[in-house]
Amino acid sequence: MRDTILSTRNLTKKYGNTAALSNVSLEVKQGDIYGLVGKNGAGKTTLLRLISGQAFSTEGEITLFDQSSPSGINLGRKRIGSIIETPSFYANLTAEENLEYYRLQRGIPGKECIQDALQEVGLADTGKKKYKSFSLGMKQRLGLALALMNKPELLLLDEPINGLDPFGIVEIRNLLIRLNQEKNITILISSHILSELSSLVTNYGFIDKSKLVKQLSAEELSMECGRYIELRVEPLEAMTALLETKLHTTNYRVNPDYSIHLFDYLNDPYKVSQIAVTNGIRLNSITLKEIKLEDYFIQLVGGESND
């Protein structure tokens, strides 16, 4: 069983009478890539700033690496790497020179951590090329190198693929997957575009208007979205029994509106209807449907920006 390395309980941040974050409770387990999804201004950055210690909560608790006391949380933060908002690099310095500046500033021992970090993100061969000449993708990877210098166990990344072209998105995505799988680094990553995270994350948290409105696994999201057969039948219980005994599937869900969403037999809905009719089930409708990721996101949190 995997350990929980980060959890929050009723975490709240207010500025005056305005709640930037309201009663957020989430859990991130070791090895997760947890996607925090929400519109701009929903509270994603505020949450990451509270976890990293860049801001302080008004109410609620944070537990980090099993520590919940202020001193324990501060020790735990030494095991975190983060990119929250764009790092400030010097335009006329090289990648190595920029990281050396931050290494000295942060008191990270051993210059070898610089080359290790640059190697991890594919920037070890940039030589004397200055930061001002870097592409946006290279700048994002240098930010990741900065976050990796202290060899973190948990990465906090705020919109790391925002503004990248499709090639840059794939590049960063593959890098994060490799860090997770090969280095066992747990990642909490935010984005306002659900589809950018869909081939990356293992768990999702949807945040809207400062509140965490839903948490689910990637497997559960795939059942919420994608293609399915919607069945409206009578009697309902008899049809579910047929699905399991005749069609040998439990890959379905009964919904509050008494419809059945079947995730198998998508290429042969006729077989499903035939089983129903030949066994005396009243088949009111059978429809092949699809929910796209972005449509799901809009249904969940609405379509307008909070900015």
Cα(288)–Cα(262) distance, integer angstroms: 9
Locate 166 and state its tokens: 């499709």
Shared domain check, 254 and 205: no
Question: pLDDT, tens digit, for every residue of 122-170?
Answer: 999 999 999 999 998 899 899 999 999 999 999 999 998 888 888 888 8
pLDDT tier for residue 307 given thresholds of 50, 70 and 90: very low
Shared domain check, 112 and 178: yes
Shared domain check, 93 and 189: yes
Residue 33: is its pLDDT beyond 80?
yes
Shared domain check, 239 and 169: no
Shared domain check, 139 and 190: yes
Structural domain count of the chain: 2
In a domain, 118, yes or no: yes
Residue 95: is its pLDDT beyond 60?
yes
In a domain, 151, yes or no: yes
Shared domain check, 247 and 98: no
Shared domain check, 202 and 144: yes
Shared domain check, 254 and 216: no
Residue ending a domain, choose from 162, 197, 221: 221
Shared domain check, 159 and 21: yes
Shared domain check, 95 and 31: yes
- Strands (DSSP E) contained in the chain are 4-15, 18-29, 33-37, 59-64, 80-83, 154-158, 186-191, 203-208, 211-217, 226-234, 252-254, 260-262, 282-291
Q: Is the peptide bond before 235 cis (omega within 30 degrees of 0)?
A: yes
Cα(260)–Cα(247) distance, integer angstroms: 14
Shared domain check, 240 and 106: no
Cα(118)–Cα(282) distance, integer angstroms: 64
Give the mean model confidence (pLDDT) for residues 181-189. Answer: 95
In a domain, 305, yes or no: no
Cα(79)–Cα(76) distance, integer angstroms: 5
pTM for the whole structure: 0.82
Shared domain check, 231 and 213: no
CATH number at 18 reads 3.40.50.300
In a domain, 304, yes or no: no
Residue ending a domain, choose from 221, 237, 263: 221
Q: How far is CA 289 from CA 18, 100, 273, 303, in A?
A: 41, 54, 15, 22
Residue ending a domain, choose from 197, 221, 245: 221
Question: pLDDT, tens digit, for every residue of 255-280?
Answer: 999 999 999 999 999 999 999 999 99
- Quote the domain boundaries for residue 242: 227-291
In a domain, 299, yes or no: no
Return phi, psi of residue 247, to 5°. Answer: -100, -5
Locate 61 and state its tokens: 């608790």
In a domain, 301, yes or no: no
pLDDT score at 2: 80
In a domain, 298, yes or no: no
In a domain, 302, yes or no: no
Question: pLDDT, tens digit, for every residue of 206-261?
Answer: 999 999 999 999 988 887 888 899 999 999 999 999 999 999 999 999 999 999 99
